[in-house]
A and B are shown apart, each in its own frame.
Chain A
Amino acid sequence: NAGVTQTPKFQVLKTGQSMTLQCAQDMNHEYMSWYRQDPGMGLRLIHYSVGAGITDQGEVPNGYNVSRSTTEDFPLRLLSAAPSQTSVYFCASRGGSGANVLTFGAGSRLTVL
């Protein structure tokens, strides 16, 4: 099993550009989520999904869109990137026998100039 796979690992954008961070899991987990990690602020929840077709906002959703068309994939879209979105982004999922444990991807480091 690959677990949670995030792409790309690194990305540099200019202000105003758009991009999508990809997240895929092969564990048949119903719950998927996106966090951003910033120094001194820990991990903050951006959006989450409890199943295909269902998404909800977390603590810091502004500037980000998500969709969940399949159980496996949960992409995070930045429609117009801003320097404040420079961060490390983590996708995490949970479900099955480990229902209360989050499994994390390796992270995507985004820099917005």
Chain B
Amino acid sequence: AQSVTQLGSHVSVSEGALVLLRCNYSSSVPPYLFWYVQYPNQGLQLLLKYTTGATLVKGINGFEAEFKKSETSFHLTKPSAHMSDAAEYFCAVLFLGNQFYFGTGTSLTVIP
């Protein structure tokens, strides 16, 4: 069965520190991969996506993610956290077909 796993429901980093949010998926066929961000009381916004081509993808607000097929992972990183990065982050996968599968989310806290 297909699934998406986000390790760590809560992550805290200091302002200026590296942000690393983990996402793994289970599938024998490489899917399309996405990271979405949700700010308080808002809908989800697309941060970045991987469909085909270069495995390192850059998104908005300085975030990037790397697709590693051998590890079935799509971890999200940002070199230097900013206070405005505090939000909920969701990894999502589009497998063959029409259904997106979302991880359970990681809440990022940035400590001043």
Residue on B with the closest CB to A104?
Answer: B43
Bound state CA distance, A106 and B45, in angstroms? 10
- How far does the alpha carbon of A105 sit from the alpha carbon of B44 in the complex, in Å? 8
Chain A nearest CB from B14 CB (Å) reads: 25
Total number of A residues with any Cβ neighbor in B under 8 Å = 22
Q: Is the pair B103, A90 in contact by a Cβ cutoff of 8 Å?
A: no
Q: Which of B32, B43, B105 contacts A42 (CB 8 A)?
A: B105
Contacts of A75 in B (CB 8 A): none
Asked if B99 and A48 sit within 8 Å, CB to CB, the answer is yes
Interface residues of B (CB under 8 A from A): 6, 9, 32, 34, 36, 41-46, 49, 51, 90, 92, 94, 98-100, 102-105
- Provide 26 A-B residue pairs closer than 8 Å at the C-beta atoms, listed in order of the A residue: A4-B43, A33-B100, A35-B102, A40-B9, A40-B104, A41-B104, A42-B6, A42-B90, A42-B102, A43-B90, A44-B102, A48-B98, A48-B99, A58-B99, A90-B44, A92-B44, A100-B32, A100-B94, A101-B34, A101-B46, A102-B34, A102-B100, A104-B43, A104-B45, A107-B42, A107-B43
